Amino acid sequence: MPAPVLLSTVFITLALIFYSIGVWSERIAGRLKAWHLAFFWLGLVCDTVGTAMMLEMAGGLTFGVHGVTGVTAILLMVVHAIWATVVLIRVDEAAIRNFHKFSVAVWVIWLIPYLSGALFGMTA
């Protein structure tokens, strides 16, 4: 496996690990905490770096299922991380207790390009 492919795959996998830890630990706790937010941002940064590397190797964005869901997922991750930051800064107790519903939905949507990328990568 060429080094850029390996490195981008490592970043995307780290994104999965960080984002999953943040989302599912928040879900289990039933309450958004600052350390969950840190994992959301780590996942977003890793996903963005890995995706940028893959886009460079591919010569740009494709408008198939993987490309469209990938852009949608990153945009949702940005909204998710910013909203979580605002919720914690405002100390909005109702939102802190219910934020996991949005988190899990974003995580599920994020899995679509992750899994399609893994599937397309294995068949290429």
> pLDDT, tens digit, for every residue of 5-29?
889 889 999 999 999 999 999 999 9
Burial letters for 32-59: b for 16+ Cβ neighbours within 10 Å, e otherwise?
beeebbebbbbbbbbbebbbebbbeeee
Q: How confident is the model at residue 119 (pLDDT cuts 50, 70, 90)?
A: confident
Structural domain total, the chain: 1
pTM of the complete model = 0.89
Q: Which domain holds residue 101?
A: 3-123
Q: Tell me the two tokens of residue 18.
A: 């960080």
> pLDDT, tens digit, for every residue of 65-91?
777 888 899 999 999 999 999 999 999
Residue type for position 93:
E
pLDDT at 121: 63
pLDDT at 69: 85
